[in-house]
């Protein structure tokens, strides 16, 4: 429903992202309070009950300013009629809000599911994808594939499959050379079925950025995705990350703020905002953004690692090590390469080497972070060897090589400059960070 509504005249109707809205499931908060927190004028509240082959859907539209119920309706349908019912609901709600429906969505049925069970399997895949754990992403692939087994022409399921595979490298499910080609094939199939599939277009842009290293192609795909739906938060988030890797920090923050306007409770966007300041070497502002995000996500191991890296650049080594240690505790076995980097930057070489041994024991072999640790230890040759290994593996993280402060100790080395040249990264004029002692 979120996807259908967000596609109706996005210039007039902005729909809060599902991830933000879902956090209110089961809440005792009133419509006015929720509307204030989400900056939303209306709420759509609904419930779905299934008994055998029958489905009952109850929906009501509430104006948040005064909690007036603008519209309410209960529908009973066969399971096989759930898809046309979703379209009917979306059109009815849009009319209630006096929004002109996008004609292309009213007329086009491209990529629509013809099998209700396929659609239900797709929704299960979306649920697991939003959980963002290695196990959940693999489960999402299972459900998307099951949906496609029932309906091979269902474009959203192909797009979902693409987005799941596209995150396999980041979550250490599959290496880049296995996961990204699968993601690309699924995204291209989705676009063959429906050229307006914004999720597939966004995923293709991500692949152009992180795997193909095609900067012009990536930007074109991101801009096409945003043109299809300016309110698709993921497109703006990932486009912002691309801009950040290119050293275009102000443009990146503009995209992050636009994404936050439709996904205000996102856990990843505040981190991205902090990262834009970190990579720009405004470490005071980066630390402030990370600390603000930590108040909302105190149990986030990833945030601890981000904050630790910013503290290192400020020369606050003890505080940085404490954040890395907290992150390790929160993530169980922990990301020992980040802790090793903290020790190395603090001059605790013996502790850094022990942490690297632990990283090896737990199978944490990312050459990117190993390179950063060896650079901090002063071992230029080993650091550059690890970066070459990352290049051979086509690690997506390498796209940030030109802006990553962890590599400043070896940035002027001829082999480092040659690697940036082979990646095709743009030259960035960089002023010294005013708030960094390093």
- Mean local confidence (pLDDT), 355-378: 87
Minimum mean pLDDT among 226-230, 349-353, 364-368: which range?
364-368
Considering only 3-7, 65-69, 277-281, which range has the smallest mean pLDDT? 3-7
CATH number at residue 16: 3.40.50.10070
The answer as to whether 20 is a domain residue is yes
Instruction: Indicate whether 310 pLDDT > 70.
Output: yes
Per-residue pLDDT band at 5 (split at 50, 70, 90): low
pLDDT value of position 2: 67
- Which residue, of 42, 76, 107, is where some domain finishes? 107
What integer pLDDT is reported at residue 13 of this predicted model? 65
Q: Residue 221 pLDDT > 50, yes or no?
A: yes
**Confidence grade of residue 12 (pLDDT, cut at 50, 70, 90):** low
Is the pLDDT reported for residue 106 higher than 70?
no
What residues make up the domain containing 36?
A: 1-107
Asked whether residue 411 is assigned to any structural domain, the reply reads: yes
Query: What's the 3-state SS for the chain?
Result: CHHHHHCCCCCCCCCCCHHHHHCCCCCCCCHHHHHHHHCCCEEEEEEEEEECCEEEEEEEEEECCCCEEEEEEEEEEEHHHHHHHHHHHHHHHHHHCCCCCCHHHHHCCCCCCCCHHHHHHHHHHHHHHHHCCHHHHHHHHHHHHHHHHHCCCCHHHHHHHHHHHHCCCCCCCCCHHHHHHHHHHHHHHHHHHCCCCHHHHHHHHHHHHHCCCCHHHHHHHHHHHHHHCCCCHHHHHHHHHHHHHCCCHHHHHHHHHHHHHHCCCCCCHHHHHHHHHHHCCCHHHHHHHHHHHHHHCCCCHHHHHHHHHHHHHCCCHHHHHHHHHHHHHHCCCCCHHHHHHHHHHCCCHHHHHHHHHHHHHCCCCCHHHHHHHHHHCCCHHHHHHHHHHHHHCCCHHHHHCCCCHHHHHHCCCHHHHHHHHHHCCCCCCCCCCCCCCC
The pLDDT tens digits of the residues spanning 192-216 come to 999 999 999 999 999 999 999 999 9
pLDDT of 325 > 80? The answer is yes
7 band by pLDDT with thresholds 50, 70 and 90 = low
In a domain, 384, yes or no: yes
* pLDDT band at 9; cut points 50, 70, 90: low
Residue that terminates a domain, selected from 84, 107, 130: 107
pLDDT of amino acid 109:
47
Residue 370 belongs to some domain of the structure: yes
Band (97; pLDDT cuts 50, 70, 90): low
Residue 220 forms part of a structural domain: no
Look at residues 107, 124, 140 and tell me which one is the last residue of a structural domain.
107
Instruction: Count structural domains, the chain.
Output: 2
Indicate if 251 and 103 belong to the same structural domain.
no
In a domain, 189, yes or no: no
* Residue 141 belongs to some domain of the structure: no
427 or 205, higher pLDDT? 205
Question: Has residue 83 been placed in a domain?
Answer: yes
- What phi, psi does 42 have (nearest 5°)? -135, 150
pLDDT digits (tens, 9 = 90+) for 154-169: 999 999 999 999 999 8
pLDDT in tens, 53-65: 787 878 788 878 7
Q: What is the CATH number for 305?
A: 1.25.40.10
pLDDT at 332: 61
Whether the pLDDT of residue 328 is over 60: the answer is yes
């Amino acid at each position: 429903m979120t996807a259908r509504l967000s596609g109706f005249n996005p210039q007039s109707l902005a729909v809060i992202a599902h991830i933000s809205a879902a956090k209110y499931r089961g809440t005792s908060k009133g419509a006015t309070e929720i509307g204030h927190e989400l900056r939303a004028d209306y709420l759509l509240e609904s419930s779905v009950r299934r008994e055998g082959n029958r489905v009952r859907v109850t929906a009501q539209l509430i104006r948040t300013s005064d909690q007036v119920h603008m519209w309410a309706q209960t529908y009973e349908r066969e399971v096989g009629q759930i898809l046309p019912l979703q379209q009917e609901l979306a059109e009815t709600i849009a009319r209630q809000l006096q929004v002109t429906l996008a004609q292309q969505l009213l007329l086009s049925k491209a990529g629509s599911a013809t099998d209700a069970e396929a659609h239900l399997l797709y929704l299960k895949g979306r649920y697991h994808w939003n959980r963002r754990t290695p196990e959940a992403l693999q489960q999402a692939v299972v459900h998307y594939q099951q949906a496609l087994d029932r309906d091979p022409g269902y474009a959203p399921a192909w797009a979902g499959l693409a987005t799941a595979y596209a995150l396999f490298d980041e979550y250490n499910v599959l290496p880049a050379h296995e996961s990204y080609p699968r993601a690309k094939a699924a995204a291209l199939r989705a676009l063959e079925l429906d050229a307006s599939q914004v999720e597939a277009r966004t995923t293709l842009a991500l692949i152009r950025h992180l795997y193909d290293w095609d900067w012009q192609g990536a930007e074109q795909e991101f801009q096409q995705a945003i043109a299809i739906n300016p309110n698709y938060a993921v497109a703006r988030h990932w486009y912002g990350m691309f801009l950040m890797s290119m050293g275009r920090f102000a443009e990146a923050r503009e995209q992050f703020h636009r994404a936050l306007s439709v996904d205000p409770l996102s856990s990843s966007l505040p981190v991205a905002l902090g990262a834009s300041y970190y990579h720009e070497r405004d470490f005071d502002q980066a630390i402030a953004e990370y600390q603000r995000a930590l108040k909302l996500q105190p149990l986030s191991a990833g945030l601890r690692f981000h904050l630790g890296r910013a503290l290192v650049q400020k020369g606050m080594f003890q505080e940085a090590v404490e954040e890395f240690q907290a992150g390790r505790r929160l993530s169980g076995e922990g990301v020992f390469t980040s802790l090793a980097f903290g020790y190395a930057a603090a001059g605790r070489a013996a502790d850094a080497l022990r942490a690297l041994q632990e990283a090896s024991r737990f199978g944490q072999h990312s050459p990117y972070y190993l390179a950063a640790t060896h650079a901090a230890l002063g071992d230029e040759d080993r650091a550059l060897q690890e970066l070459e290994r990352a290049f051979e593996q086509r690690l997506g993280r390498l796209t940030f090589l030109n802006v990553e402060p962890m590599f400043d100790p070896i940035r002027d080395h001829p082999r480092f400059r040659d690697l940036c040249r082979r990646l095709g990264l743009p030259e960035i004029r960089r002023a010294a960070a005013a708030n960094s002692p390093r």
